[in-house]
Amino acid sequence: MTQHSMFSIETVAPKIRKVTFSNPPVNVVGADTVTQLVDVVDELSRDEQVQVVIFDSATPGYFFNHADLGQVPELLALNSADGTPTWVDLVTSLTSAPFVSIASIRGRTRGGGDEITLAFDLRYASREEAFFCQPEVAIGIVPGGGGSDRLSRLLGRDRALEAILTSQDFDADTAERYGWVTRAVADAELDNLVSGVAARIASFDKQSVLAAKAQINRSTLPPVADLRASWAEFAESVNWPGFQARVPQLGKAIAEIGLEEIEQNLGHYAGLINDTGISAVHSR
């Protein structure tokens, strides 16, 4: 097993690896997370034996969560040598990786974490434990990591608008019906389903698997130029007055109500926090 501070890589079978994310208490995604995940994807991509990679979480209640608001400047400062935002490099390297990525989703999957999850090839969700949300509009910014670009292709225009403009939490059954995830299953069945799919794909010839993936990528993925544009728009939006006013109110809500309660029900609370106060939060 290879160990990074937030990610561990386990050899499940000769052609299958499992990458487990752990950033307690709530698995937020920061600049340090992105940097480490870039290294993980690069390491797995260079291993010619790897054909399937399962991504899961060791933090109960959370898969890949939203961006760490305290690290937004660091996230925006991450760029590759050619000037491409590191985030764009990460999600495009995932979709083009020389392996099939499978998300085994238990827990909340929101914002930037959802945008990473949308870059995985297959997404299987626990019916009882998985929830999905793009909360950016509710806090005065826009998605920047590919959420708008990918959800519009997966869900269609109107459902993507609903997901992004309402900033609500969506349960796994709704996510499955909308096309947000590949399939939602009972939590007790999730591990066996993911293991079975991984083993079946790993049993096939790697050349044919990757060639088929490349064909589907060609027909379905957003252009990299669109991902760059969305990232630039996100970077601009963090300076908008609405976001600057709402962030302190969110901080006050967390201090008053508690991080766990806010994070468990972020879709609800994000819709109640405004730029003048948090009194409406108490209506829950």
Cis geometry, peptide bond prior to residue 25 (ω within 30 degrees of 0): yes
In 3D space, the residue among 23, 26, 22 whose CA is nearest the CA of residue 10 turns out to be 22
- What does the block give as tokens for 21? 């994310």
At 3 the pLDDT is 72
Asked whether the beta carbons of 75 and 116 are under 8 A apart, the reply is no
- Amino acid at the residue 253: A
Q: How far is CA 128 from CA 32, 125, 131, 137, in A?
A: 30, 9, 9, 26
- Ramachandran bin of 80, using left for φ above 0, alpha for ψ from -120 to 50, beta for the remaining angles: beta
pLDDT of residue 106: 98
What pLDDT does 222 receive? 97
Active site residue 115: yes
Query: Helix crossing, 224-237 with 147-155: angle to 10°?
Result: 130
What residue spans define the domains of the chain?
A: 2-204+221-237, 241-283
User: Tens-of-pLDDT digits for all 284 residues of the chain?
Assistant: 667 899 999 999 999 999 999 999 999 999 999 999 999 999 999 999 999 999 999 999 999 999 999 999 999 999 998 999 999 999 999 999 999 999 999 999 999 999 999 999 999 999 999 999 999 999 999 999 999 999 999 999 999 999 999 999 999 999 999 999 999 999 999 999 999 999 999 999 999 999 999 999 999 999 999 999 999 999 999 999 999 999 899 889 899 999 999 999 999 998 888 776 665 545 44
Q: Are 18 and 104 in contact (CB under 8 A)?
A: no
pLDDT at 270 (0 to 100): 87
Could you say which of 3.40.50.720, 1.10.579.10, 3.40.50.1000, 3.90.226.10 is the CATH number of the domain covering 2-204+221-237?
3.90.226.10
Q: For residues 201 and 51, is the Cβ–Cβ distance under 8 A? A: yes
* Backbone φ, ψ for residue 62 (5° rounding): -140, 135
Q: How high is the pLDDT of residue 276?
A: 67
- From the candidates 10, 43, 48, 115, which is the catalytic residue? 115
Res 281: pLDDT = 46
Residue pair 106/57 in contact (Cβ under 8 Å)? The answer is yes
- Residue 277: per-residue pLDDT: 64
Local structure of residue 85 (DSSP, 8 states): B
CA 132 – CA 280 distance, rounded (Å): 23
Rg (CA), the chain: 18
Interatomic CA distance for residues 84 and 82, integer angstroms: 6
Confidence (pLDDT) at 1: 65
Q: Map residue 10 onto helix, strand or coil.
A: strand
Residue 127: phi and psi, rounded to 5, are -60, -35
Query: What's residue 4's pLDDT?
Result: 85
Task: Tell me, yes or no, if 260 is annotated catalytic.
Answer: no
Active-site residue identified among 129, 136, 176, 263: 136
